[in-house]
Amino acid sequence: MQTILVVDDSPTIRRMVRAALGSLADVAFAEAGSGLQAIETLAVQPVQAVVLDLNMPDMHGLDVLKFLRSHAPYRDLPVMILTTRGDESSRDAALKAGASAYMTKPFSPTALLSSVRDLLGAASPSV
């Protein structure tokens, strides 16, 4: 079973993401309401992908992403940024910092599902 960590300070957005991804087979969800909570969760629970908001109160999502990319166990962990920030500079900064994908809110559930499927497929070891 694969686990996806959904990181957003809004419980409503976390529920919407889980609902959009609910049709994925053999997938469990972990949730974090802040960047610091996300890092704590990753320290104790292995996950195969992260859906990460940028705008959070305690630690910006970009800082979380940079933290992940600077630590070997998380360097290749697929991270999708899901944010209200649709400007080119935010997108470029996230991709430069190592985001695997970038999507803006409001999001299409079908597009989110497709992107996360791709991320999970890329994270699976080849047999």
Q: Within 10 A of 121 (CB to CB), how many other CB atoms are there?
A: 9
Fold of the domain spanning 2-123: Rossmann fold (3.40.50)
Query: Can you give the pTM of this predicted structure?
Result: 0.93
For residue 15, give both structure tokens: 């529920």
69 within 8 A of 46, measured Cβ to Cβ: no
pLDDT of residue 124 exceeding 90? no
Say whether 14 sits in a helix, a strand or coil: helix
Q: Name the band, by pLDDT with cuts 50, 70 and 90, for residue 125.
A: very low
Q: Name the band, by pLDDT with cuts 50, 70 and 90, for residue 64.
A: very high
Q: Would you list the domain boundaries of the chain? A: 2-123
- The amino acid occupying position 17 is V
53 within 8 A of 83, measured Cβ to Cβ: yes
* Cα maximum dimension of the chain: 41
